Amino acid sequence: MLTRKQLELLEFIQKRMTRDGVPPSFDEMKDALDLRSKSGIHRLITALEERGFIRRLAHRARAIEIVKLPEALEKKLGAPSGFSPKVIEGDKVDPPRGAMPIEAVHALELPVMGRIAAGVPIEAISEVSHHVAVPGTMVSGRGDHYALEVKGDSMIEAGINDGDIVVIRETGTAENGDIVVALVEGHEATLKRFYRRNGMIALEAANPAYETRLLRDDQVKVQGRLVGLIRSY
């Protein structure tokens, strides 16, 4: 049994895929269902996936497979009995004008330095737990890179979910709005947006359930800046 919002979202996705050939973006889903934030869409998508109505395809942008439709929705949309799912893959959409041709890229292995809190700060991270392969283009530029596993949901509206792997470029400086690994008072590590405000450092979450932390400059040490994200479904 699906909730009213879950049915609305499933119907919206099916209609958009039929009309446009690609699934709607999370922003479009949020607006269509009149929700305040994309975190609500994340929860609805997860619920539909857990109930076997859709499947998200890894490593493809905006790629969703509708596995089945409820009988009532099939009748409403005029879908044939025994609905056959249509898979829309991001790489089958015509490329934008001026897009560069796709070329093979090399991969690099980065150390995963344990977990980083996207929520309440946790103890500082210093040991390698395992390694992960990332595209070479993700770690282009100066500086060393490392990876961290995200724990918590405070950055969910920035598209960073619990269990994701974030790729970090080591740096001790940050610009306003950067997502950084911040070491708080020498022993707590957290992943937040960085801002300088009235002589203080603001560590801001991307989830309204979490308050912004205001700290003195000497209480915060930037240890790196987010440059990439890896997600497994």
pLDDT for 104-122, tens place per residue? 556 677 878 777 877 655 5
What is the C-alpha to C-alpha distance for residues 186 and 123, in angstroms, rounded to an integer? 9
- The residue from 15, 192, 221, 232 that is catalytic is 192
Q: What is the DSSP string of 82-131?
A: S----B--GGGSPPPTTPPPP----EEEEEEEEEEESSS-EEPP-S--EE
Whether the pLDDT of residue 103 is over 60: the answer is no
Does residue 68 carry a catalytic annotation? no
Query: Would you say residue 98 lies in a domain?
Result: no
| Rg of the Cα atoms in the chain | 20
Tell me: the pLDDT tens digits for 189-209? 899 999 999 899 999 999 999
Q: For the residues 147-175, what does the mean pLDDT come to?
A: 90
User: According to the model, what pLDDT value does residue 177 have?
Assistant: 94
- The residue from 76, 154, 221, 232 that is catalytic is 154
Tell me: the pLDDT tens digits for 23-41? 888 888 888 888 888 788 8
Tell me: the pLDDT tens digits for 52-85? 888 876 555 557 778 888 777 777 766 554 444 4
Which domain, by its residues, includes 150?
107-230
Tell me: the pLDDT tens digits for 178-191? 999 999 988 888 99
Whether the pLDDT of residue 99 is over 50: the answer is yes
Q: What DSSP designation does 23 have?
A: P
Measuring CA to CA, which residue among 62, 108, 70, 107 is closest to residue 88? Answer: 62
Residue 180 near residue 198, CB atoms below 8 Å: no
Whether the pLDDT of residue 143 is over 50: the answer is yes
Same domain, residue pair 85 and 124: no
Residue 180 near residue 206, CB atoms below 8 Å: no
Query: Would you say residue 100 lies in a domain?
Result: no
What is the C-alpha to C-alpha distance for residues 148 and 163, in angstroms, rounded to an integer? 10
Q: What is the value of pTM for the model shown?
A: 0.52
On the CB side of 7, CA atoms within 13 Å amount to 11
Of the pLDDT bands very low, low, confident and very high (cuts 50, 70, 90), residue 98 is: low
Same domain, residue pair 201 and 115: yes
Same domain, residue pair 85 and 162: no
- Only one residue has tokens 């049994």, namely 1
Whether the pLDDT of residue 100 is over 70: the answer is no
Pairing of strands 107-117, 145-151: parallel
Same domain, residue pair 72 and 181: no
Same domain, residue pair 16 and 48: yes
Tell me, what CATH number does 54's domain have? 1.10.10.10
Collapsing DSSP to helix, strand or coil, 216 comes out as coil
Query: Where do the DSSP E strands lie in the chain?
Result: 54-56, 64-66, 107-117, 122-123, 130-135, 145-151, 165-169, 179-184, 188-197, 200-204, 213-215, 220-230
User: According to the model, what pLDDT value does residue 81 have?
Assistant: 47
Q: For the residues 164-180, what does the mean pLDDT come to?
A: 92
User: According to the model, what pLDDT value does residue 203 have?
Assistant: 95
Tell me, what CATH number does 186's domain have? 2.10.109.10
Whether the pLDDT of residue 124 is over 50: the answer is yes
- Only one residue has tokens 């560069």, namely 100
